[in-house]
Structure 1
Amino acid sequence: MVDRGQDKTTTTASDLSLKKKELLSSAMKRTSEWIFSQEIPSDVKVRVGEASFSIHKFPLVSKCGYIRKLVSESGDADVPLIELSDVPGGAEAFELAAKFCYGINFEINVENIATLRCVAEYLEMTEEYAVGNLVGRTDAYLNDVALKTIAGAVSILHMSESLLPIAEKAKLMSKCIDAIAYIACKESQLSTSGRSDNSGSDGVASSIPSQQRPVVDWWAEDLTVLRIDIFQRVLIAMMARGFKQFAIGPILMLYAQKSLRGLDIFGKGRKKIEPTQEHEKRVVLETLVSLLPKERNAMSVSFLSMLLRAAIYLDTTVACRLDLEKRMAMQLGQTVLDDLLIPSYSFTGDTLFDVDTVRRIMSNYLESQMGNHFVLNGDDEYFSPPQSDIEKVGKLMENYLAEIATDRNLSVAKFISLAELIPEQSKPTEDGMYRATDIFLKAHPNLSDMERKKVCSMMDCQKLSREACAHAAQNDRLPVQTVVQVLYYEQQRLRDAMNGNENVESPSANAKLNVYSGDTQFHPVSNEITGLRRENEDLKLELVKLKMKLKEIEKSTVKVKATVINSPSVNSSPSGSADKPPLPRRSFISSVSKKLGKLSPFPRIDGITPFAKGRTKPNKDRRHSIS
């Protein structure tokens, strides 16, 4: 009993395998049964890939121009076999075409219209061979039904990607792209007018241009299923029909979020992506960058930063990265610190963050500002952009320097190159630069004296606040020359305050005000700045000389003290000064400031120069060393 069941199962399996070889699907089986029910034996076998169709020659030849040519070229009216190896859509598409030739009814819908149109083009089922042929039927359905909505057009376009190049020959791709562009522009105009009408009733909202408030349209996400080259053609067609560039931004963001998903652009590890996938994403990214709107502020800075990270990660072309850097430079005033903290993907033991990219962004910003400053207006007067944007950029770069200063691999040259790019007019005070300098010196304790001097030369001690001066005066990491500079300027500030000149501006502040005062005489201001810098260098040289003199005084003081201690007169009267009351203690800052006033190489207000030839020997009460 069991053996018979096993034999029966084996027989059934063999029958099924034979049927699968002859017929591809149940629908094909019904087609063959209908053909055999006509009591006319089939006279030709059509092989499409691995599937074979035993059908009649006459229905095919009467409607398919391609098969008619194959039969006529063979020279034999009784062709037993026709090979069709490259039918678009495969055996299923040919089955639908065969049903149409036999007059069997079937449904044409959005799911099969692309396949039907392409197989009709391949078999040349045009009006030339039969009235109401398949080409005409499919074109009518496309024009009247399928291409009336964006969803239908996108669906057909997406299916046509696998039917190339016959889909291009049938002009199916161009029809779908034109339909999407037309409907998208129409929908965009309607939504824009609707938003403007709604904002017109609100006084606050109407003051903001609608171009600055792009809204993602409901159909934008449908476009993300398209291949990148087809997606590019769709956007170009939309812009050619008048689609606004500012509205392209949200569509690009949606496509980028979906197509670039999976990239570890915020990590610092090795790349975890296959070469083939990396190449595909690189092509996608370069195409998206080429489609970015040319208008300023059309894209958010965070999105541009994300694209720049991906471009560096995927090693795109230099032109692609430079384009993104210039776009970020144009909107640097809107940038936050996280947007500039781009990890270094070189994996060569260099810095943790990509400092070179940020330096190029800052250079591009300065170039754009140079082009905007001192432009003639209608009254032939110079004007400059508002200070707020420049000050924001200066504060941003100071915070960036403080953030990357903790990196032990950051060289002095790179730190100085970034600090030099920060414009003077963007820094009301030097507290931010002092903070970044202090962090850098703390993270790099093995710097030489010359390197520490170079780093500290990036800040202007004259523009430090009182709190920063108090901290710098007790900072052991700063060079002695810098501390002396800080104390000197603090003493000068106190002296001016005592003389009633509390509102006296510093030379650097005056230079900054002259640059932005709208005065047309720019060259005298630049000459004054050059003179101030020269005087600053002379001051540094005098301070070095002062330090050497102080050291010599200290040595001579030590020798004098040793001589006095060893003298018998001192030993005979040990309590000579015991009856005197103790002197009040003075703070370190006041003591050093007072001594610096006496030892300063600069002339005082009363005109007396320290260390003059006619100077008398100081009395005993003023022999204290400033050290």
Structure 2
Amino acid sequence: MQFPLMKKSLRIRRLVGEELNEGNFTMSSPAVIEFTNFPGGPETFELLIKFCYGINFEMTTLNVANLRCAAEFLEMIDEHGEENIITHTETFLSEIVFRSLDKTVEVLHSCEHVLSMAEEVKLVNRCIDVIASKIYHEQQKLSNRLQAEGNHSIPWNYNSTHLRELQSAILPTPNWNQDEDSTPVPHTINRRVKVDWWAEKLSLLRIDLYQRVFTAMKASGVRAESLAGSLMKYAESSLKHLHGQGNQGASVMMSAPFTTAIRLKTKHHLDINFGHNHKTIQQHEQRNVLETIISLLPTENNLFPISFLLSLLRDAIALDTTVACQLDLERRIGLQLERVTANDLLIPTLPSDTDDAMYDVDLVQRVLVNYLQQDENFKNEHNFSLNSDSDENGISLNYQKGIRKVTEVIVQYLAEIAADANLRAAKFAAIAEKLPSHFRAMDDGLYRAIDIFLKAHPYLTDVEKRKVCKLLDCQKLSREACFHAAQNERLPVEMLVKVLYCEQMRIRNALVEDESPHQEGSYNYGGYSLNKISNTGSPRMDTLSRLRQKNKFLKEEVAKLQLRVAELEKENTELKLGEMKTIVASGNSVRFFSSVSRRLGRMNPFSSKHKDAAKQRDHCLPPPRQRRHSVS
């Protein structure tokens, strides 16, 4: 007589037969058959017992994978029992599960706990193929109906939520929304990421299974926008604890990978590899997830929102991913640097050294270099001139608009990081040097950043100050900025002289224009245009009165500048005398300060050298001839 379980399971029948043949058991110590790592555990074995004894139970998407793998493990095929459990599970899979995308994803998710056996029965591959095929055909079906019905609404059998998500691009989190500036990135194709309803279903999968599904979808022809949306949704779900979304969400998210690790490996194995530090285990798993997500990013440029890429980069730095992953993200961010803000670039450095700067300046410099390099390649490829007025497609204008936007953002970024006392002058200057000067209409923002930096670093050497200040173009400073710079004692003397010289030239030009009212045409002063003066009546007198007032004001400004230059010359003389005394005491050379003095003399617009030269010319003239006067 055979028990129902022995009748339907070839493996149990074989094991019992071996025990009977050996005869190593008695009534007091009966034979025991032990199964280690039984697929699905005791719950699944109990369901198989019910099946063998004819007890009804419900087969669902949550237990069908376990039943199929356990039946394979016990060799419960039809040859050893009519309509055995394998036949029932395969019928359920083909007629119910594989006809629905939702159910197929649920079954694939349940395969994670019995992965090796599910691979053996080809259940994982079948689920992946069905998912990729259904998503592709669903997109094709939607596209065809939209084309046929002129983009009108389409009656689907899905519920309202699915229909709404199918017909709109829904982003996963407010932090990763498309940028507020809807202007397309210059010289690129603006393709917006699309998060379909099935992306949330796929986000439940473990990273190794999701990677295989993603690869299958890409091979089957699923659109890049949908693939990108799926990646964004998966990243949101698996990395939410890194984005500060609350302790509850973090604990739920972290429990799944940790539990999976326990099932896949024995506790002893975990202790050998990771010890009892759960945080280390979690970081290792999260690093693996993030590196896989980065490796799956589509190659299309400007597909993801810049905020999403920046979020991935921050996570990559925090989890210490490979250098290749971080460089890939930096390159992608550099391709659409026009969309960032100064706050986006404020990426903190790792707290490894107290002497390090507060923000990762090297990273921003690499991103900026990537942007400038791709812009240079684009300019050479299209062979357009920045000064050309004929631009039918607006390529040159878009290029200039984009690089001006980047320049403004980097200047704002410099102002944000300038107050960091640990920021070195070389790094500050290295970023500022990358900015193309011909795309900076005004240098007020750069002057503000330099002033903040000098104020936060009072112990800079003169060489470091000159290195930072040489980036400033005094001719691009506004009148207010020039007035502030002329009184800024933090600037080196050379920079003060340059500022005063530029301001003097500006005042002289204004005086020349204002003192010539009789000339034809219009005159410009301070951004205001004065039309040609009439020769009749009161308007002429009013204009002349205004010009006299302006001339008086400008002359007062010149007098103030002359006084300021005199003070600077006096300070320079005192510094020179003091330095000479120090040099005499120490035996050093005075060549450096003498050369500085000569340069300052040449740069000083109010120097009295021209007077000395005039006197010298007078002395060089021959004396006048003495004429003889005769009295006749």
Q: 1:553 to 1:338 in 2, by over 3 A?
A: closer
Distance in 1 between residues matched to 2:496 and 2:608, nearest whole Å: 14
1:125 paired residue among 69, 76, 83 = 76
Give the equivalent residue in structure 1 for 2:108.
157
Within 5 A, what are the aligned runs for 1:227-266? 227-263=206-242
2:363 aligned residue: 357
The number of aligned residues is: 471
Q: Does 1:447 align with 2:460?
A: yes
**How far apart are residue 487 of structure 1 and its match?**
1.7
Q: 2:14 aligns with which of 55, 61, 69?
A: 69
Q: Aligned AA for 1:371?
A: N
Residue in 1 aligned with 2:607? 599
Give the secondary-structure state (helix, strand or coil) at the position aligned to 1:475: coil
CA contact (8 A) 1:391 1:425 kept: no
Tell me the residue number matched to 1:88.
39
1-structure distance, mates of 2:132, 2:415? 49
Q: Which residues of 2 match residues 301-340 of structure 1 at below 5 A?
A: 301-340=306-345
Structure 1 residue 111 and structure 2 residue 62: aligned?
Answer: yes
For residues 39-69 of structure 1, the C-alpha deviation after alignment (integer angstroms, 9 at most, x for no partner) is xxxxxxxxxxxxxxxxx73533433222243
Name the stretch that deviates more: 313-322 or 170-179: 170-179
**Separation of aligned partners in 1, 2:368 and 2:109:** 42
CA contact (8 A) 1:285 1:311 kept: yes
Structure 1 unmatched runs, 5+: 1-55, 505-543, 557-594, 602-607, 618-627
- Compare CA radii of gyration and give the structure with the larger one: 1
SS at match of 1:599: coil
State the AA in 1 paired with 2:360: D
Aligned to 2:289: 284
- Partner Cα separation in structure 1 for residue 211 and residue 576 of structure 2: 79
Mapping of residues 522-533 of structure 1, within 5 Å: none
The 2-side partners of 1:187 and 1:600 are apart by 85
**Is the Cα–Cα contact under 8 Å of residues 9 and 76 in structure 2 kept in the other structure?**
yes
Task: Tell me the equivalent position of 1:570.
Answer: none
- Post-superposition shift, 1:491? 2.3
Deviations 1:513-556 (A, max 9, x none): xxxxxxxxxxxxxxxxxxxxxxxxxxxxxxx9x97799569999
Please state how far the C-alpha of 1:615 moved relative to its aligned partner: 5.4
Deviation per residue, 1:191-220 (Å, 9 max, x gap) = 455666788589xx9x99998344322222
CA 1:387–1:196: 2 relative to 1, 3 Å: farther
CA-CA distance at 1:450 after TM superposition: 2.5
* Counterpart residue identity of residue 288, structure 1: I
SS of structure 1 residue aligned to 2:34: strand
What CA deviation, in whole Å up to 9, does each residue of 1:140-172 have, x standing for no partner?
110110122222112111111011211111111
- Does the CA contact (< 8 Å) of 1:265 and 1:313 recur in 2? no
Q: Which amino acid is 1:217 matched to?
A: D
Deviation digits for residues 569-608 of structure 1, max 9, x if unmatched? xxxxxxxxxxxxxxxxxxxxxxxxxx9544288xxxxxx8
Give yes or no for contact 1:211–1:246 (8 Å, CA) kept in 2.
no
Provide the secondary structure at the position in 2 that maps to 1:76.
Answer: helix
Other-structure match for 1:98: 49
Tell me the SS of whatever aligns to 1:263.
helix
Matched, 1:484 2:497: yes
Distance change in 2, residues 1:498/1:266 (3 Å)? farther
SS in 2 for 1:393: helix
For residues 9-50 of structure 1, the C-alpha deviation after alignment (integer angstroms, 9 at most, x for no partner) is xxxxxxxxxxxxxxxxxxxxxxxxxxxxxxxxxxxxxxxxxx
Alignment CA distance shift 1:446-1:273 (3 Å): farther
* 1:517 alignment counterpart: none
CA distance in 2, matches of 1:327, 1:449: 39
Q: Superposition pairs for residues 380-395 of structure 1, below 5 Å? A: 386-395=399-408
Task: Give yes or no for the alignment of 1:373 onto 2:379.
Answer: yes
Q: State the match for 1:212 in structure 2.
A: 191
CA contact (8 A) 1:192 1:210 kept: no
Cα offset, 1:402, TM superposition: 0.3
Residue equivalent to 2:539 = none
Normalized against structure 2, the TM-score is what?
Answer: 0.67
- Which residue type is aligned with residue 140 of structure 1? T
Partner residue in 2 for 1:397: 410
Distance 1:614 1:115 in 2: 108
Q: Which SS does the other structure have where 1:295 is aligned?
A: coil
Other-structure match for 1:185: 136
Distance 1:551 1:341, change over 3 A: closer
Is 1:293 matched up with 2:298? yes
Determine the C-alpha separation between the residues in 1 that align with 2:433 and 2:384.
34
Per the TM alignment, residue 404 of structure 1 is displaced from its structure 2 partner at its CA by 0.1
Within the candidate set 52, 59, 62, 2:4 is matched to 59
SS at match of 2:240: coil
- Which residue, 136, 145, 168 being the options, matches 2:96? 145
Superposed CA deviations along residues 348-382 of structure 1, whole A, max 9, x for unmatched, are 11111111111111111122122112225699x99
Q: Which amino acid aligns with 2:241?
A: G
AA aligned to 2:45 is: F
Q: Cα 1:273–1:106, aligned 2, differ >3 Å: closer, same or farther?
A: closer
The higher-RCO structure (CA 8 Å, 6+ apart) is 2
User: 1:265 deviation in Å?
Assistant: 7.6
Give the Cα separation in 2 of the matches to 1:496 and 1:89. 89
Aligned partners of 2:117, 2:437: CA distance in 1, in Å?
Answer: 63
Q: TM-score, normalised by structure 1?
A: 0.67
Shift of 1:325: 0.6
| Alpha-carbon distance between aligned partners in 1 of 2:511 and 2:199, rounded to the nearest angstrom | 68
| Amino acid in structure 2 at the alignment position of 1:451 | E
Q: Is the 8 A contact 1:160 1:173 kept in 2?
A: yes
Percent identity between matched residues is 45
Query: C-alpha separation between the residues in 2 aligned to 1:434 and 1:275?
Result: 46
In 2 relative to 1, CA 258–498 (structure 1 residues): closer, same or farther, beyond 3 Å? Answer: same
Cα distance in 1 for partners of 2:244, 2:352 equals 14
Aligned to 1:466: 479
Amino acid at match of 1:69: R
Contact conserved, 1:246 with 1:295, CA < 8 A, in 2?
A: no
